[in-house]
């Protein structure tokens, strides 16, 4: 079973390639996380598979996103105990592998390895996204390494991370990052907003509502960049940091915005 979380489409892209090779079912964590927040009657999620579980997600500050880690901790996995992690990243995954291995140890799951692939940077609150053409090149170049990792996962062989850095101070940095940076106060809609509600429907944490036709953020943000990147009018800004920057978003059909 391939379970993916995505903000701007890269991890869905990687997960689809993996599932095509392994023949596994593809499950979107975004929908399930959102459902759990909006419906108090949703019970603990339970997944059963006789094949390894494969988690695909972006890298957030050299680790699995906290929402993904929490989802794994809150869910029940039965059948196969083997678990793989496949991260998409803009440049590197730091100590994500060590952290994912520790998570598996705590949950008594068998860590089969973490690997990653470099895809277009989406974090326009801090960095810049590549040009349309550069992003197309990166998406094309990523297919072969994703497929090779998927073949190893299909054979239940170990995988290793070409973009990791063991010994990276991921833990301390990650805590500071969530405490100081991951906030939604700087998001706002400009006059270009037409109140279409795409940001509302895409937010995996159900953190956005329309008030008088304009989006409002409610403090439960994980900085996935879905709202700002997918807005059809480019009408969302992150303070001054996003002004004039290209938005990167890859649709489920594999097309860049
Ligand atoms: C909050 C946040 C933190 C990020 N941290 C990292 C990082 O530590 N290392 C890295 O290489 N890329 C980092 N990125 C870039 C994303 O991991 C990368 O663009 C990823 O492919 C986006 O996946 P998605 O389109 O599935 O959301 C970060 C992006 C965001 C939004």
Q: What is the percent of the chain with per-residue pLDDT over 70, rounded to a whole number?
A: 99
What average pLDDT does the segment 175-194 reach?
97
d(CA 68, CA 29): 8
Residue 20: pLDDT over 90: yes
pLDDT band at residue 30 under the 50/70/90 scheme: very high
E strands along the chain, which residues? 2-4, 26-28, 46-49, 53-58, 76-79, 82-89, 110-118, 187-189, 208-211, 214-217, 236-238
Our answer on whether the CB atom of 7 is closer than 6 Å to any ligand 1 atom is: yes
Greatest Cα pair distance, the chain, in angstroms, is 53
Residue nearest to atom 3 of ligand 1 (CA): 60
pLDDT at residue 169 tops 80:
no
Does residue 58 have its Cβ closer than 6 Å to ligand 1? Answer: yes
Q: Look at residue 166 in the predicted model and tell me its pLDDT.
A: 77
- With a 6 Å cutoff on the Cβ, whether 92 touches ligand 1 is yes
Using most ligand atoms within 8 A of CB, pick from 2, 64, 67, 90 the residue to mutate for ligand 1.
90
Q: Is the CB of 91 under 6 A from ligand 1?
A: yes
pTM of the model: 0.98
- Rounded Cα distance between 146 and 26, Å, is 15
Helix (H) or strand (E) holding 36: helix 29-38
Residue reference for tokens 């550069």: 134
Domains and CATH numbers, the chain: 2-173 (3.40.50.360), 182-238 (3.30.70.20)
């Amino acid at each position: 079973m391939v379970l993916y979380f995505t903000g701007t489409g890269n991890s869905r892209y990687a997960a689809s390639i993996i599932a095509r090779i392994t023949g596994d079912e593809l499950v979107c964590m975004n929908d399930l996380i959102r459902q759990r927040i909006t419906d108090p009657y949703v019970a603990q999620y339970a997944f059963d598979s006789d094949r390894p579980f494969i988690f695909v997600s972006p890298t957030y500050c050299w680790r699995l996103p906290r929402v993904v880690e929490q989802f794994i901790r809150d869910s029940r996995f039965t059948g196969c105990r083997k678990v793989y992690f496949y991260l998409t990243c803009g440049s590197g995954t730091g100590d994500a592998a060590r952290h994912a291995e520790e998570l598996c140890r705590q949950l008594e799951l068998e860590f089969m390895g973490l690997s990653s692939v470099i895809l277009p940077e989406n974090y326009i609150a801090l960095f810049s996204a590549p040009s349309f053409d550069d992003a197309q090149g990166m998406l094309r170049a990523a297919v072969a390494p994703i497929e090779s990792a998927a073949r190893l996962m299909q054979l239940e062989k170990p995988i290793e991370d070409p973009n990791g850095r063991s010994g990276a101070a991921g833990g301390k940095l990650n805590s500071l990052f969530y405490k100081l940076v991951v906030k939604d106060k700087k998001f706002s809609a400009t006059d270009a907003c037409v109140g279409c509600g795409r940001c509302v429907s895409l937010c995996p944490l159900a953190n956005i509502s329309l008030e008088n036709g304009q989006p409002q953020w409610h403090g439960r943000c994980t900085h996935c960049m879905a709202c700002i990147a997918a807005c059809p009018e480019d009408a969302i800004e992150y303070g001054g940091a996003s002004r004039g920057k290209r938005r990167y978003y890859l649709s489920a059909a594999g097309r860049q915005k």
